[in-house]
Every structure is written in C-alpha cells, then in structure tokens.
Amino acid sequence: AQRVTQPEKLLSVFKGAPVELKCNYSYSGSPELFWYVQYSRQRLQLLLRHISRESIKGFTADLNKGETSFHLKKPFAQEEDSAMYYCALTVTNNAGNMLTFGGGTRLMVKP
Amino acid sequence: DTEVTQTPKHLVMGMTNKKSLKCEQHMGHRAMYWYKQKAKKPPELMFVYSYEKLSINESVPSRFSPECPNSSLLNLHLHALQPEDSALYLCASSQDGSGANYGYTFGSGTRLTVV
C-alpha cells in the first residue's frame, strides 16, 4: 500500500530564510506526486505537480526516486507563505484514482 | 467556472436526522471524490466516482451513502450519524479517473457537527 510521510508537523522560519518541507513516500509502482497548500480559511489547493517540473510562488520540488522523496523548497520565505502544506501521492488502478495525503506540515514564517 | 461548489457550508444534525451534502462542478471533470477531514489531520478518502459510477469505497460505514446523479453533481446522504462523524467533508474533482496529472480541485467543504 502507498504511504506518504511528512516528518515535521511544524516548521517555523524567519522571513527571507530558506525553506525545505520534507516528504517521503513508499509505493511499489511509478508515483505521481503533488504538493497541496491550505491557507487560513481557504480551500485546499494544488501547489505543484512533480510531472510538470514547474515553480509556483517561488516553490520547487524535485522527485528523487532513489531516496523516495519529494521535498518542497523555497530559497526566501515570505510571510504570506504561512499555511498548511500537504504532500500527496496518486495511485491509479483498475478501480480508479486515489489521492493519498501525508500528515501535513504547518509552515510559519515570522517577520 | 473553475471551482467545486459545496453546500451547505455548515450543518448541524441530530443522530436520528437524515441530511444530504451537495457538490457541483462545471469543469467537465469525470471523476469526483468525497474526503473526510478531522481537525489538524489530513483529508482521508471516502468514495471515488469515475464516469458517474462508484469505483472506490474505502470501507465507509453504510450510514454514509454517496450518489452521483450526473457528471456535474455528487451527493452524500447522511443517516443515523454518530458524534465522531463530526468533521469537514470535502468534495473534489479531477479530469478523469485515470488522468491524475492535473491534480484534484477541492471544494471549500461542509463543516458537519453531529449532536
């Protein structure tokens, strides 16, 4: 069965500092990985997809199959980045498609 | 329209009541999902509908009954719930049941309180 682990429940940094939110996964097949973000009082929204290799709001994430990791990084944190971040993995089989979330990391960016 | 709309936003119901949660999307997505999210926890998958057919039921108790009347609508019928069922219920949609590359679009949820 697939599993997503985010080892840090809370990450607190100062504005302008680098940020790395860790994500490790276990899945026997070829994974499709995502980062979702939930700002205060807002809905859960897609931040990044590993397949697109894009940078959104200054965040990047690289899939490392050897280390089974998909860490989220930003070189200079901003106060508006404070939110709950979820790493998620998609499994597709004959029954359909399932998105499984990690436990989440709350990022607090202090002024 | 690029949103998933859920109604009601808040619901308080007694353990003997019957109520329904509604979810709507007009993005042409053919897969829709119900998730349950308890406070300070990640969303947990309940049901998956693919092309209006129930394809995944994650061992959800029968007091939760999903329904997909058409490709734009998803309902969750609630009956004889327990206080521990109080949670935020999220609806999501994706392009289709196999095309996960684009990710899911989530609604803002229905906050359910069972008294």
Q: Do B43 and A95 touch (CB under 8 A)?
A: no
What does the pLDDT read at residue B38?
Answer: 95
Q: What is the pLDDT along chain A (111 residues), one digit of tens a residue?
A: 789 999 999 999 999 999 999 999 998 887 889 999 999 889 999 999 888 878 889 999 989 989 999 999 999 999 999 999 999 998 877 777 788 999 999 999 999
How far is residue B1's CA from residue B47's CA, in Å, rounded to a whole number? 24
Question: Residue B33: its chain A contacts at CB < 8 A?
Answer: 99
Nearest CB partner across the interface for A46, out of B33, B44, B103: B103
How far is residue B76's CA from residue A108's CA, in Å, rounded to a whole number? 35
Q: Does residue B69 have a pLDDT over 70? A: yes
Q: Do A46 and B100 touch (CB under 8 A)?
A: no
Q: Does residue B47 have a pLDDT over 80? A: yes
Best of B55, B68, B95, B110 to disrupt the A interface (most A CBs within 10 Å) is B55
Q: Do B50 and A97 touch (CB under 8 A)?
A: yes
pLDDT band at B72 (very low <50, low <70, confident <90, very high): very high
What does the pLDDT read at residue B101?
Answer: 66
What does the pLDDT read at residue B97?
Answer: 60
Question: HEC profile for A33-71?
Answer: EEEEEECCCCCCEEEEEHHHCCCECCEEECCECCCCECC
Min Cα distance B115 → chain A (Å) is: 24
What does the pLDDT read at residue A87?
Answer: 97
Q: What is the pLDDT of residues B15-37, one digit of tens each?
A: 999 999 999 999 999 999 999 99
User: For residue A85, what are the contacts with CB-CB under 8 A and spacing of at least 6?
Assistant: A6, A21, A35, A36, A37, A38, A47, A72, A104, A105, A106, A107
Q: Do B41 and A103 touch (CB under 8 A)?
A: yes
Sign of CA dihedral A98, A25, B100, A80: positive
Residue B76 corresponds to which tokens in the numbers above?
Answer: 């969750």
Within chain B, strands assigned E span 4-7, 10-13, 18-25, 31-37, 44-50, 53-57, 64-70, 73-79, 87-94, 105-106, 110-114
Q: Helices H, strands E: what count in chain A? A: 0, 11
Is B42 an 8 Å CB contact of chain A?
yes
Does a cis peptide bond (omega within 30 degrees of 0) precede residue B8?
yes
Decide which of A1 and B69 is more confident: B69
Q: Which residues pair with A96 in a beta bridge?
A: A93
pLDDT band at B98 (very low <50, low <70, confident <90, very high): low
Q: Does residue B100 have a pLDDT over 60? A: no
Is A86 an 8 Å CB contact of chain B?
yes
∠ Cα B45 B46 B50 (to 5°): 90
How far is residue B6's CA from residue B107's CA, in Å, rounded to a whole number? 6
What does the pLDDT read at residue A29?
Answer: 80
In B76-92, which positions are buried (b, 16+ CB within 10 angstroms) versus exposed (e)?
bebeebeeebbbbbbbb
